[in-house]
Amino acid sequence: MKYLIVLALLAYLYFAWRKQRGNRPGNSARSPGPERRSETGAAPQEMVCCDRCGLHLPRNESLTDGRGGTFCCAQHREPGSA
Ligand SMILES: [Zn+2]
């Protein structure tokens, strides 16, 4: 019975450790440079949300209606369509 408790404690610590590593990548080795860029060299994409259906997509792929609304496709940009 005691081993079960120890095992559960170890499992908990393991998952907590993994979660902490996932939330803060690269905290052990601080990389120099003012900002972190992806491997492709492009700046990270800002994600926006479609006002009609709630789909998340990169801003450069989204459509705007001139009133600050962002949409995933032309159908969702049309006011009349459902
Ligand atoms: Zn949409």
Compute the distance from residue 22 Cα to the ligand 1 centre, in Å: 30
CB neighbour list of residue 57: distance below 8 Å, 6 or more residues apart? 47, 48, 50, 72
Q: For residue range 19-45, what is the model confidence (pLDDT) as tens digits?
A: 888 765 555 555 566 666 656 666 788
Cα 56 to averaged position of ligand 1 atoms, centre (Å): 9
- pTM of this structure: 0.45
Q: What pLDDT sits at residue 21?
A: 84
Q: Does 51 score more than 90 pLDDT?
A: yes
CA of 40 to the centre of ligand 1 (A): 28
Between the CA of residue 17 and those of 7, 21, 22, 28, what are the distances in Å?
Answer: 15, 6, 9, 13
Domain ranges of the chain: 45-82
